Amino acid sequence: SQQGEEDPQALSIQEGENATMNCSYKTSINNLQWYRQNSGRGLVHLILIRSNEREKHSGRLRVTLDTSKKSSSLLITASRAADTASYFCATDALLDSSYKLIFGSGTRLLVRP
């Protein structure tokens, strides 16, 4: 079962435009994370936002969290071709008495030069 679901599944934009990806989850969380995966490579952590935070920035990344709607968004501003990748949200879930990360199915972002 998946805790997080990203939307859209795929996104194609022109270089320089902003890209927005959304993540919805089902149960209460302690924090939510976003990861990037370049084609066939390992995931790279981008940003972590805690349940008591509403917005967080890191360079060209802006993450928001709305716990009342159980949703988060990742905004990449002034996109570059190098931002082409899949982006995953991950939420913590209590399973078998310990917390694990549960990953969504991802948004595939294509930034056209």
Binding stretches for another protein (CB under 8 A): 2, 4, 30-31, 33, 40-45, 48, 88, 92, 96, 98-101, 103-106
The separation between the first and the last C-alpha atoms of the chain, rounded to the nearest angstrom, is 37
Helices and strands: H and E segment counts in the chain: 0, 11
The CB-of-47 to another protein minimum distance in angstroms stands at 9
Structure-block tokens of residue 49 = 């936002």
Query: For residues 33 and 72, which CB has a smaller minimum distance to another protein in the complex?
Result: 33
Query: For residues 69 and 96, which CB has a smaller minimum distance to another protein in the complex?
Result: 96
- Report the C-alpha gap between 66 and 100 in whole angstroms: 21
Query: For residues 2 and 18, which CB has a smaller minimum distance to another protein in the complex?
Result: 2
The CB-of-16 to another protein minimum distance in angstroms stands at 28
Length of the chain: 113
The CB-of-41 to another protein minimum distance in angstroms stands at 6
Exposed, middle or buried: residue 69 (CB in 10 Å: 0-12, 13-18, 19+)? exposed
The CB-of-56 to another protein minimum distance in angstroms stands at 13
